[in-house]
Amino acid sequence: MTELAQGARFAAENLACIRGERPVFSGLDFTLESGGALLLHGPNGSGKSSLLRILAGFLQPVDGRLTWNGAALGEAPEAHRERLHYVGHLDAVKPTLTVAENLRFWARSRGHPQAADDALARLGLDALADVPGRFLSAGQRRRAALARLFATPAPLWLLDEPTVTLDAEATARLEGIVRAHRAAGGMVVVATHTEIGLEEATRIDMGEHSVSVEAAVGASADDSPGDADDEPW
C-alpha cells in the first residue's frame, strides 16, 4: 500500500449542486490531505450522495471548483478516474458471475489480477468465492462490492453508506481496512448515518450547507418584478 501518493491534497471550494432543477447545497468547502478522512452526515436528502457523485466526476457542480494538488480536476478527468474508488448505493455484482469472477474482472481491468483473492479474504468472502452473485444475501453482496477497493490501489476512496446491511463483524473489518488505507497515505470520504470508527475525521454536516426550499422559494418571491429578468435561468 506504499504506492499511494504521499502528500497529496484534494480540495473543494464553494461547491454548489443542483439536482432535478432544484438546488441541493451550496458554499461547500473542504480540504483533504493524505491520510485524511471526510465524514459526510446530515439528514436524508441533504446531498451526501450527490456530493460523492460530484467528487467522482459523474455530476458537474454548478458552481465552485475541485482541485487535486492545486490542479483543477476538469483538466485531466482520466487521471482523476484512476486515482479513485467509488462504492455507491448500487453493488455492481453480476448475478450470473461468481463472487471471484466479479472481482477478478475489476482487478484485471486495472492490471492487478492477483489482487482478487486477497480482497476476498479481507472481507471474509473466501468461502463464497464460487457462489454466483444472485445467491448472495444483501450483506454478502455489499461485501463483494467493498472488496473492489482492493482490486487496485487508489489514493481516494469515496464510500456512500458503506456499512448498510453489513453485520457487526464486517463493519469492524471495514473500519480496519479504512484505517490501514489511511495509514498508508490514502484519503477517504464516507457518507453515513450510523457511527463508524473514523479517527480524526473532518465532519461535514450537509444539513448546514443545504439550500432550504423556503430560502429558494422565498428568494424569488422577494424579488421585485423588475429584477426578475436578472435571475438565473
Partner 1 sequence: MVRAFLGILGRDLKLAVRGGIGSLVAVVFFVIAASLFPLGVGPELNLLARIAPGVIWVCALFATMLSLDRLFQEDYEDGNLELLALGPLPLELVVLAKVLAYWLTTGLPLIIAAPILAVLLNMSLSGFTILLVSLLLGTPILSLIGSVGAALTVGLRRGGVLISLLVLPLYVPILIFGVGAVDGAIVGLSVRAYLFVLAGGLLGALVLAPVASAAALRMALE
Partner 2 sequence: MARRAKARASIHFFANPGRFLRAARIAYPWCAGVAGVCIAAGLVLGLYLVPADYRQGDAYRIMFVHVPSAWMAMFIYVGMAVASAAGFIWRHPLADVVAKASAPVGAAFTFIALLSGSLWGQPMWGTWWVWDARLTSMLVLFFLYLGYIALQNAFEDPTKGARAGAILALVGVINIPIVKFSVDWWNTLHQPATISKVDTPSMHASMIAPLLLMVVGFTAYYFMVLILRVRGEIAARRIRNLRLAQAGH
Ligand X SMILES: Nc1ncnc2c1ncn2[C@@H]1O[C@H](COP(=O)(O)OP(=O)(O)OP(=O)(O)O)[C@@H](O)[C@H]1O
Nearer to Mg ion, 85 or 104 (CB): 85
CA separation for the pair 176, 181 (Å, rounded): 9
Q: Which of 57, 64, 113, 139 binds a second copy (CB under 8 A)?
A: 139
Site residues (CB under 8 A) for partner 2, limited to 120-139: 127-132, 134-135
Q: Please, which of residues 170-189 interact with partner 2 by CB under 8 A?
A: none
CB atoms inside a 10 Å sphere around CB 68: 21
Q: Please say which residue, 102 or 140, places its beta carbon nearer to ligand X.
A: 140
Considering the rule CB under 8 A, would residue 166 count as an interface residue with a second copy?
A: yes
Helices (H), 95-202: 99-109, 115-122, 138-147, 168-183
Give CA–CA dist 233/221, Å, rounded.
Answer: 15
Burial (CB < 10 A; 0-12, 13-18, 19+), residue 151, is buried
Asked if 213 touches partner 2 (CB under 8 A), the answer is: yes
Q: How far is CA 183 from CA 36, 45, 137, 178, in A?
A: 9, 32, 31, 9
Give SS3 for 115: helix
In the complex with partner 2, the residue whose CB is nearer, 49 or 152, is: 49
Considering the rule CB under 8 A, would residue 55 count as an interface residue with a second copy? no
Asked if 145 and 91 count as a contact pair (C-beta separation under 8 A), the reply is yes
Query: Binders of Mg ion among 16-55, rule CB under 5 A?
Result: 49
Residue 62 interacting with partner 2 (CB under 8 A): yes
Q: Which does 57 bind (CB under 5 to 8 A by kind): partner 1, Mg ion, ligand X, none?
A: partner 1
Q: Where in 41-100 is the site for partner 1 (CB under 8 A)?
A: 53, 56-60, 78, 81-82, 84, 86, 88-97
> In this complex, which beta carbon is closest to partner 1, that of residue 76 or of residue 217?
76
Q: How far is the CB of 16 from Mg ion (least distance, A)?
A: 18
**Is residue 138 a contact partner of residue 66, using CB atoms and an 8 Å limit?**
no
Judge whether 200 and 35 are in contact, CB under 8 Å.
no
Instruction: Report the phi/psi class of residue 70: left, alpha or beta, with left for phi > 0 and alpha for psi in -120 to 50.
Output: left
CA-nearest of 183, 179, 201 to 2 is: 183
Among the listed residues 127, 221, 222, 233, the single contact to a second copy using CB under 8 A: 127
Residues that bind partner 2 (CB under 8 A): 14, 16, 18, 20-23, 26-27, 43, 45-46, 62-64, 95-96, 127-132, 134-135, 210-213, 215-217, 219-220, 229-233
Residues that bind partner 1 (CB under 8 A): 53, 56-60, 78, 81-82, 84, 86, 88-97, 101, 105-106, 108-111, 145, 148
